Structures are given as structure tokens and as C-alpha cells.
Chain A
């Protein structure tokens, strides 16, 4: 069974630039999560989708972060404009009952 795929794996941008991350969950998984993990901390939930509807986005900084889930499958997380404090690993996860199962993450560095 293929795992959760994320791209790119690494991204370096300057502050005030825009960036987008892509996630392809495990086939058939209805629930998709985006987490932010700052160095030395545990992951923090940014947004949770059930199929293509948002279940929880209470911790998403909506003035600069946005996310969508196309047709209840793939998802994109965007940051516009980026700040220095957005430097982190962005983890995508998916679940169907058990799990969730995490992808390898995208490491973002904002200079």
C-alpha cells in the first residue's frame, strides 16, 4: 500500500514570498490533516478535512494560510506572504478509521 506522498520535500524562500505544498493521501482515506512542526516541538494541527469539507481550521492563520482539498483527494496548503516564523516542517496525514498515517513532510525555510 502506498503511503502519503508530499512534495516538495524541501523549499527555501524569502520572507513575503508565496509557497505551496502538495499532498496526496492514501487511497480511500476520507480524512486529511495538515500539521506544522517547528523544530524541537510536537506537530500542531493546522487544518482537518473530511472528504472535501473542512472539519477544523481553528489553528490556521487565515490571514496568510489557505488550504483546499480537490474532489476529496489531493490537498494543497499555501502560505502568502511567508514570515520568518513559518519556517517549519509541514506534515500531511490521512486516515480512515485507524491511524492517521503521516507523510515525510516538507521542510520550509524562510530567509
Chain B
């Protein structure tokens, strides 16, 4: 299965931007890049996804490298509630049989 590589942990300060990197050098042309986050004792929460172009939503931005072998999740102004484990995931497979293969994720700590 296609895999992603993320740092185990990162730390940032409240109200500052956070850039979470992800490498996915074995990505294929039809694989979507998804980001989820997981707060303690909760299920993973969808954050954002993209294929080739950069994407923005109310939660975050996703910057995808031109060769698609890496991407960066950007939290523009971190709050204490953004402290979570962030997973960069490739959605692989054909329509109707697509699946997410999770890695270890990055544990993000936000300092007040």
C-alpha cells in the first residue's frame, strides 16, 4: 500500500501559523491526499483533501508539491484546540473501492 512519512511530533505557539509536512514519494496519479486529525478519545476528523492543486477551506490549507511527492498542511493561526494527532493519508483504489491507509501521524502540541 502507498505510504506517507510524517515527523512524529511538532510544537508551535498559539496564534502562529503551523506547517505540517508529509512525504509520499510512491504516490500514483489517481491517489488523493487526505488530512485527518484526531483529538484524544475521539474518532479521526476530516480536515482537507486534494489531488494536484492547492486547496483551502475554513479549517486549513493544503499545499501540494508540483511532483506530488510531498504536501504541507497549513494551519494559519493555531489555537489550543488544534492540538491533536494529524494524519496525512493517501486515498487509494478505484471508485467504489477506495480506502484510506493511515500512518503514525504527527502529534502537534500548541503552547499558550
Interface flag for A105 (CB, 8 Å): yes
- Residues on A with beta carbons closer than 8 Å to the beta carbon of B41: 104
Q: Please, how many angstroms separate the alpha-carbon atoms of A31 and B96 in the complex?
A: 7
Q: Please, how many angstroms separate the alpha-carbon atoms of A105 and B37 in the complex?
A: 15
Interface of B is mostly: loop
* Chain A residues numbered 23-51 whose CB sits less than 8 Å from any CB in chain B: 30-31, 33, 35, 41-45, 48, 50
Q: Report the interface size for chain A: residues with CB under 8 A from the other chain.
A: 24
Task: Return the contact of A91 from the options B43, B46, B99, B103 (Cβ within 8 A).
Answer: B43
* Chain B residues numbered 4-24 whose CB sits less than 8 Å from any CB in chain A: none
Q: A45-B101, A98-B49, A103-B43 are in contact. List 7 more A-B contacts (CB 8 A).
A: A50-B96, A56-B97, A91-B44, A98-B46, A100-B46, A102-B36, A102-B45
Chain A interfacial positions (CB closer than 8 Å to B) = 4, 30-31, 33, 35, 41-45, 48, 50, 55-56, 91, 93, 98-105
